[in-house]
Chains A and B, each alone.
Chain A
Amino acid sequence: QDIAISGKVTSSEDGSTLAGVNVTIKGSSKGTTTASDGSYRISAPAKSVLIYSFVGFNSQEIAVGSKTIINVTLKSSTTDLDEVVIVGYGTQAKNKATYSVSSIKSDELKNLPVTGVDQAMQGRAAGVLVTSNSGTPGGGVTVRLRGGSSITASNEPLYVVDGIPINTGSYSQLGFGNQSSNALNDIAPNDIESIDILKDAAAAAIYGSRAANGVVLITTKKGKAGKTQVNFNYYTGFGQKSGNKLTPISGAEETKLLQEMVINRYGVYNSAGGLTTPGFGTGTSVWASAADAAAWFWQSDSNTGVNAGGQLYTIESAASKARGIRTVNVFQNPSQAISTNWQDLIFRNAPISQYDISARGGNEKTTFFVSGSLFDQKGIILGSDYKRLVGRINLEHQISKRVKTGAQMSYTRSLQNRINNDNNIYGVLSTAILMASDIPVRFADGSYGKDASSSTENPLAAAVEPYNLSTSGRLLGTVFAEAALIDGLKIRTNWNLDQVSFKEDRFLPNTLNAASGLNGSATATNGGELNWSTSNYLTYNRSFNNIHSISATAGADYQQSTYDFVLASSTNFPGNAIKRVSAGANKTDATSGGTSWGLVSYYGRLNYDYDGKYLVQGVFRTDASSRFGANNRWGTFPSISVAWRASKEEFMESVPAISDLKVRASYGKTGNSEITNFGSLGLFGSGVAYQLNGALVPSQLSNPDLKWETTTTSEVGLDIGLLKNRLTINAGYYHKYTNDLLLNATIPATSGFTSVLQNIGEMQNNGFELGISSENIKGKDFTWNTSFNITFNRNKVMKIFNGTPTPYGFASWLAEGEELGAFRGYVVEKIFQSADEVAAANAAAKAKGFANYQVATTAPGDIKFKDLNGDGTVNSADQQVLGSAQPKFFGSLTNDFTYKGFDLKIFAQFVYGNKILNYTRNFSEGMNGVFGQTDAVLNRWTPTNTNTDIPRAVYGDPNNNRRVSDRFIEDGSYLRLKNVILGYTLPKSVTNKVGIERVRVYAQAQNLLTFTNYKGLDPEVSTFTAGANGNSSANAALGTDFLTFPQPRTITFGVNLTF
């Protein structure tokens, strides 16, 4: 006898009703679907079982019995208990994964006041170290998964968006002193559903020769059947300078310093105007006074005359007198010097805002997600900003029961104004630090104040005068079709396109040093990469006897990328009104070029699962790359992993506290092929000329054996869930060993080449990762969740070419047995306090056959560096490793609280035990020339201030006190209150009245507080970036700070509306 049953189906996620849910009687073909309000009616036998199934939700079976009303709540198939992770060419239940995978969900990413996905990942996952290279809006970011595995190839992970291996990195062709662009910014963080990070070889091997640095799988939001949901988000706020200050000395202090430097170098003058102590250098000059000498020295346009006594003295030029800077008068009365605080001029409170609107919905046949967003950020340093507009449409359509198709497409347009910074004398922050404080912002005639004896640009001019616009357009899309062939067997094909076009326009007016001699200079570039790929794969899922289940994947990928660029530049402009290359009379450069690569791959994966207890996975991939030498075209990358879910064993059922316990182990190989496209070929290069006739020059030695780098990873891990998974612990230990590192083997330059790319090096990373998350309090009104992760990674360079250490950057040192990113330099012993001390050191050196201990001109107040090898003299051999830029550990701690409508998230991130080379101080405390100095130099050594660690001031620094020594190597550890959000969701009873489902308002602070002993502006630095300096500098010269643009503190206020 059939019973008439009715009821409603709702979603467990938000309680909304679900339309189109299939309700079928188990074992029969009879069934119905729910109406638009989620209700259904069906007649079924009392003994039958009803199955409720719906796309994106777990099916539920309910026995009818005597019930006439059955209301069902379906659980989304991506809820916590049975969380699914994206693993590349498929998905997998997280609790059945045999490897470590970190997932970051959209909640953690959305509405952050950051430009890109990479910045949003910072601190969110164990094993992932993210460092923003600078505070430049839209600038480059360094991401290291479990330490760097390479030296010359890229150390950045492979990013795959909706199955598309995308273009990343910087497309900028112009130099901005390390301010690279970042193609990852083309993905709007609010469009992302999840980020799954494949860290170990077991999971990543499916990406073969590109997986050695891990794989970041980004999945954008998909449509969802049911009522269409519209989300609108808006935030606005401002960024400001945070953290440390560099305090410049005043103009008067600078004047005294300049005079002291000249006298210490060239001699001491008595009141009669005679030279009493011969100085180093010219030796014959005598001056009427020290002020005369200093004024002569620091004004390039003053002349010298000879007085009646035959002594040289200074004749000030009319121009320098008019400027009133560094005149004899100023040197006689330093208090009259101008005093400018350049940093105050160039830092600003910078607005930031973002609007985005999205809609998602659909029915059981077709689902959609569409979104649009506008992000607009100004930099905290004058002249820099970034603006991005993204539109996205994701569609899926079920053509028939067996076939579905869909597309995910986005188009991004971004406009970026960058300014020179970092290692650059034309930069903004760099000049604001390097320009001496006794120079005025503007001269009396209105022109920019400049230092006649330095080429340092006026900081204000550097910020406001150049025109530097980068415009990027990016189409990223995939279309797919999927067909179910027989039970459990599916075939899927994806066709992907990633097209980046990147255009730069630069104009430097003649008001800038960089273009004054050229009468204005302009450069225009246009570059684009077209990257197409296709993946075609079969998946097969089958269970036998409810105990054995297998899932298998096998496929083939093809990918090809072509890059083309043009560049043109000109000088000699008719004024500064027209900024385009066309106006320049002298066309100085015109070039175009291109490059390409191709990759063919076959891969497979097999999972076997015995009763959910014993899990085994095998993966292999074989790649052929156009980049590799003729003798080594194909590489194979296998992995195997096993796991035991002890919690599934019967004996564990007596321990109810343990809800999940999994032990896992894996072993596998992955590759790194991110090298130059034609590194294996012997080449004659073009692009050079003599007398305007084209030339060919030998440019590269061949190496037909060239191949990928191979990283072998072994890992053991433990995943524990306690108290119904309220407390989860994931712990893992890994050992990564990289062979065949591609290194530029240094060869004697007498060959005419300096290096040849060879597979030589070896490197290892050992590490331990721990992630803990806990639902501390789970009340009706109050909840408190905590998550914590920490990573300990030890990197070691095992083998490099000939074992010969190589310097990188300013003081980075690539050497066997050291970490990648080690620093090397001299060690300060003390400051020489007297001429006797210097003489004694020199006498000892002479006794051992050396000319001097340091140099002949070493004098009291100069630094005595340690004679580390004890040979009697200090030379380049007396340097040692002074620490490493890689942290001993890093991680984060997040606390989430909700109380009724309020939510509070406090996210702190930390890095410990890394060293930073503060190369800025090499200049700002260098006292060797005319650069701006910080207040540290006020404590410089003088005969009356001897108890100090700052050496004497002497022009040109003949003793090279400012050489890289432990003086400039600082502890870079920091703890940063990275993000704090306080939100309030209005009660539904209020919002529903105005037809809005949900209203949340919030205030957010990014980089709120930083605790560090580091003396520079920001401990999160990386002056050497892959975009501007090439991979090897970026990989090896880590943690160098040279006039780097600091991260802003950003305060935003926002609203989230759901309709």
Chain B
Amino acid sequence: CEQVLDQLPQTAVVSEIKDASTARAALNGAYNGLQSANYIGTRYQLLPDLQSGNLRHTGTFSDFAEIANRSILTNNTSVTGMWTQIYTSILRDNFLIKYVPSINESGFTDAAKNQIVAEAKFLRAFNYFNLVRWWGDVPLVLDPTEQADESLKVSRSSTADVYKQIYADIDAALPYLPSTNKGKATKNAALALKARAALYQKDYAAVVSLCDQIIASGQHSLVPTFSNIFANQGTAESIWELSFETTNSNTLAFFLFSTALGGRNEIRPNTTLASAYSTTDTRRILTTSYDAQLKYFRINGTDFPVLFRYAEVILNRAEALAELGRNAEALTALNLIRNRAGIGDASATLVTDPVALKNEIFTQRRLELALEGHYFFDLVRTGRAATTLTNWASTQALLPIPQRERDSNPKLTQNPGY
């Protein structure tokens, strides 16, 4: 009788993180949480450019159409999927942060445990940064969910508090992160994340100092041929790139490619983006063509999205310097990017024209980082959205809190305009 009733799952375990091997497996799970098509596997890169017109919607997904038109409904499946996936990733981080320190296993050193916790904290900071820039105030959940009860209904924390937590996690992680760690968290990745966050927070002095630390590490440089950043894994320019394999693939190329190339022709670069490049710009074809040469081009889904790269660090620094009035240094930094793209130095007169300088830095930032998940946020945080985008309303700066979240948690308020 008991034998008949005593059944156990064969592809899952009932226990939690309890030893070194389950801790390491759970850390892999935390990275795996980023790989979903609702996150780095597609939407992280494509949605901001779809919102901002770098990309054009040519397919059938109505959720993409809403995003391209910036008339997003609260039940938009991409928006809901992204929110859900980011919090799913955070849960995986939270389990590690809570349980790994108390594992007692000989051979599982404090250093090993500290690094796992540091990587989890880095990932949590990255996840919350993506939440805060997309939705503004968001619930801060820092403990793993172990039972379903009222405590799951968490109110939104202020944007400032979320940033505070992001900085706290990065600062706690930094001492224990390795300097190299293929496809995973490193010191420089954490610094780059903090620099990007500081830029969004307009803490320009911090941006410069963080970028300087990365530069000073000497680990990174601009690769001479732009296309190599995307063609080769682990280039000197890459600070953190997410790994994908055929068995664990993304749908970036699939969504961008024409059917002739095996894609689904869902989204493609807009002609307005193409015409923004000079014809000699080596980035133009790679960013805006319709065929096999794109930043994402492996139809089998093994493109490795570079989440932080040295060019962004330079552009972050250039922008911060310009904002601080250190125009000459800003221009020098900017020219590194321009020259690598094959379009030569910018006019030296920009040093004396801060508005034009900032505009040029912004333009190069758009051209350099198109399709990498930046443009929409850059338009919003620099106040350019209203002048650049048609039919702009300031409420479009934030995505709606998914309807399902508000239905399951009455404490959540909606963003204005939805």
Binding site for B on A (CB under 8 A): 280-285, 300-301, 304, 425, 450-455, 513, 516-518, 558-560, 571, 586, 588-589, 593-600, 624-626, 633, 677-678, 681-703, 745-754, 756, 758, 802, 804, 807, 851, 855-857, 875-876, 928-929, 956-958, 960
Residue of B4, B24, B91, B403 ringed by the most chain A CB atoms within 10 A: B4
Q: Does B234 contact A (CB under 8 A)?
A: no
Binding site for A on B (CB under 8 A): 1, 3-17, 22, 24-29, 31-33, 35, 56-60, 62, 65-66, 68-69, 71, 73-75, 80, 83-84, 87-88, 90-92, 94-95, 138-139, 141, 144-148, 152-154, 182-183, 243, 245-248, 254, 257-266, 268, 270-272, 290, 299-300, 390-391, 393, 395, 402-405, 407-409, 412, 417-418
Q: Nearest B residue to A634 by beta-carbon distance?
A: B5
Q: State in angstroms the CA–CA spacing of A751 and B148 once bound together.
A: 9
Could you tell me if B29 and A696 are in contact, using CB atoms closer than 8 angstroms? yes
Residues of B within 8 A of A693 (CB): 24-25, 28
Could you tell me if B88 and A752 are in contact, using CB atoms closer than 8 angstroms? yes
Choose among A624, A697, A749 the residue that contacts B92 (Cβ–Cβ < 8 A).
Answer: A697
Could you tell me if A682 and B146 are in contact, using CB atoms closer than 8 angstroms? yes
Residues of A within 8 A of B409 (CB): 748, 750
Could you tell me if B4 and A560 are in contact, using CB atoms closer than 8 angstroms? yes
Could you tell me if B58 and A453 are in contact, using CB atoms closer than 8 angstroms? yes
Residues of A within 8 A of B393 (CB): 851
Tell me, rounded to whole Å, the shortest Cβ–Cβ distance linking B179 to chain A: 18
Supposing A677-B7, A751-B87, A876-B74 touch, asked if A701 and B147 sit within 8 A by C-beta, the answer is yes
Could you tell me if B144 and A453 are in contact, using CB atoms closer than 8 angstroms? no
Q: Nearest B residue to A532 by beta-carbon distance?
A: B4
Can you list the 7 inter-chain pairs with the closest CB atoms, starting with the nearest? A517-B262, A752-B91, A695-B28, A598-B4, A697-B29, A695-B29, A751-B145
Could you tell me if B59 and A455 are in contact, using CB atoms closer than 8 angstroms? yes
Residue of B80, B257, B259, B417 ringed by the most chain A CB atoms within 10 A: B259
Choose among B11, B58, B145, B247 the residue that contacts A589 (Cβ–Cβ < 8 A).
Answer: B247
Could you tell me if A595 and B10 are in contact, using CB atoms closer than 8 angstroms? yes
Could you tell me if B73 and A684 are in contact, using CB atoms closer than 8 angstroms? no
Could you tell me if A753 and B145 are in contact, using CB atoms closer than 8 angstroms? yes
Choose among B73, B83, B260 the residue that contacts A452 (Cβ–Cβ < 8 A).
Answer: B260
Choose among A450, A558, A594, A683 the residue that contacts B4 (Cβ–Cβ < 8 A).
Answer: A558
Could you tell me if A748 and B4 are in contact, using CB atoms closer than 8 angstroms? no
Residues of A within 8 A of B152 (CB): 747-748, 750-751
Q: Nearest B residue to A807 by beta-carbon distance?
A: B75
Can you spell out 6 A-B residue pairs with CB atoms less than 8 angstroms apart? A301-B290, A589-B247, A690-B248, A749-B80, A752-B144, A960-B65
Could you tell me if B59 and A746 are in contact, using CB atoms closer than 8 angstroms? no
Supposing A589-B247, A596-B7, A752-B90 touch, asked if A697 and B271 sit within 8 A by C-beta, the answer is no
Q: Nearest B residue to A677 by beta-carbon distance?
A: B7
Q: Nearest B residue to A284 by beta-carbon distance?
A: B272
Could you tell me if B94 and A752 are in contact, using CB atoms closer than 8 angstroms? yes
Count how many pairs of residues, one from A and one from B, have CB atoms less than 8 Å apart in the complex. 274
Could you tell me if B58 and A598 are in contact, using CB atoms closer than 8 angstroms? no
Could you tell me if A695 and B69 are in contact, using CB atoms closer than 8 angstroms? no
Tell me, rounded to whole Å, the shortest Cβ–Cβ distance linking B302 to chain A: 10
Could you tell me if B28 and A694 are in contact, using CB atoms closer than 8 angstroms? yes
Supposing A595-B9, A600-B1, A633-B5 touch, asked if A749 and B402 sit within 8 A by C-beta, the answer is yes
Choose among B6, B58, B62, B407 the residue that contacts A960 (Cβ–Cβ < 8 A).
Answer: B62
Q: A281-B56, A517-B262, A518-B299 are in contact. List 5 more A-B contacts (CB 8 A).
A: A595-B10, A681-B14, A685-B11, A692-B247, A693-B25
Residues of B within 8 A of A589 (CB): 247
Q: Nearest A residue to B58 by beta-carbon distance?
A: A453
Q: State in angstroms the CA–CA spacing of A878 and B135 once bound together.
A: 24
Supposing A282-B271, A758-B148 touch, asked if A598 and B6 sit within 8 A by C-beta, the answer is yes
Could you tell me if A692 and B147 are in contact, using CB atoms closer than 8 angstroms? no
Supposing A690-B28, A756-B148 touch, asked if A300 and B265 sit within 8 A by C-beta, the answer is yes
Residues of B within 8 A of A425 (CB): 60, 264
Residues of B within 8 A of A678 (CB): 7-9, 12
Q: State in angstroms the CA–CA spacing of A678 and B6 once bound together.
A: 11
Could you tell me if B258 and A452 are in contact, using CB atoms closer than 8 angstroms? yes
Could you tell me if A597 and B26 are in contact, using CB atoms closer than 8 angstroms? no
Residue of A301, A455, A749 ringed by the most chain B CB atoms within 10 A: A749
Residues of A within 8 A of B84 (CB): 749, 754
Q: State in angstroms the CA–CA spacing of A905 and B27 once bound together.
A: 68
Could you tell me if A516 and B262 are in contact, using CB atoms closer than 8 angstroms? yes
Could you tell me if A690 and B243 are in contact, using CB atoms closer than 8 angstroms? yes
Could you tell me if A697 and B7 are in contact, using CB atoms closer than 8 angstroms? no
Could you tell me if A857 and B69 are in contact, using CB atoms closer than 8 angstroms? yes
Residues of A within 8 A of B35 (CB): 690
Choose among A517, A625, A928 the residue that contacts B5 (Cβ–Cβ < 8 A).
Answer: A625
Tell me, rounded to whole Å, the shortest Cβ–Cβ distance linking A486 to chain B: 29
Q: State in angstroms the CA–CA spacing of A952 and B110 once bound together.
A: 67
Residues of A within 8 A of B8 (CB): 678
Q: State in angstroms the CA–CA spacing of A856 and B71 once bound together.
A: 9
Residues of B within 8 A of A560 (CB): 4
Residues of B within 8 A of A745 (CB): 148
Residues of A within 8 A of B182 (CB): 691
Residues of B within 8 A of A281 (CB): 56, 390
Tell me, rounded to whole Å, the shortest Cβ–Cβ distance linking B97 to chain A: 13
Q: State in angstroms the CA–CA spacing of A589 and B248 once bound together.
A: 10
Supposing A598-B4, A692-B247, A929-B60 touch, asked if A517 and B145 sit within 8 A by C-beta, the answer is no
Could you tell me if A698 and B92 are in contact, using CB atoms closer than 8 angstroms? yes
Choose among A301, A558, A748, A756 the residue that contacts B153 (Cβ–Cβ < 8 A).
Answer: A748
Q: Nearest B residue to A625 by beta-carbon distance?
A: B5
Q: Nearest B residue to A958 by beta-carbon distance?
A: B69
Residues of B within 8 A of A595 (CB): 9-11
Q: State in angstroms the CA–CA spacing of A311 and B41 once bound together.
A: 38
Could you tell me if A626 and B259 are in contact, using CB atoms closer than 8 angstroms? no
Could you tell me if A598 and B5 are in contact, using CB atoms closer than 8 angstroms? yes
Could you tell me if A749 and B88 are in contact, using CB atoms closer than 8 angstroms? yes
